[in-house]
Amino acid sequence: MTVENECLTVLALDLGPAAKAFLYRVCRQQLHKEPAMLQKSDIDRLAKSCYLGVQQALGVPIAEKVKKSLLELK
């Protein structure tokens, strides 16, 4: 499974069908790369960026859960 697919699996648990659009937006705007190019070394930055985005939309508890789950992919 690619890193992109692993991240989508984690994000879909809390974001549902919006996970793909969210991941693409975060990758392009914050990491300046396409999601298909994600590597394990990007996970720390991705988790931090996702935390900030999820926190604004769904609150701190969900953001913490997403961040923790993404960091477990390393």
Identify the pLDDT of residue 21.
97
The answer to whether 67 and 7 have CB atoms below 8 angstroms apart is no
How many other C-beta atoms are found inside a 10 Å radius of the C-beta of residue 29?
Answer: 10
pLDDT tens sequence across 19-39? 999 999 999 999 999 999 999
**Considering the entire predicted model, what is its pTM?**
0.93
Q: How confident is the model at residue 49 (pLDDT cuts 50, 70, 90)?
A: very high
CA distance 28 to 74: 20
Identify the pLDDT of residue 18.
96
Identify the pLDDT of residue 51.
98
Q: What does the mean pLDDT of the chain come to? A: 97
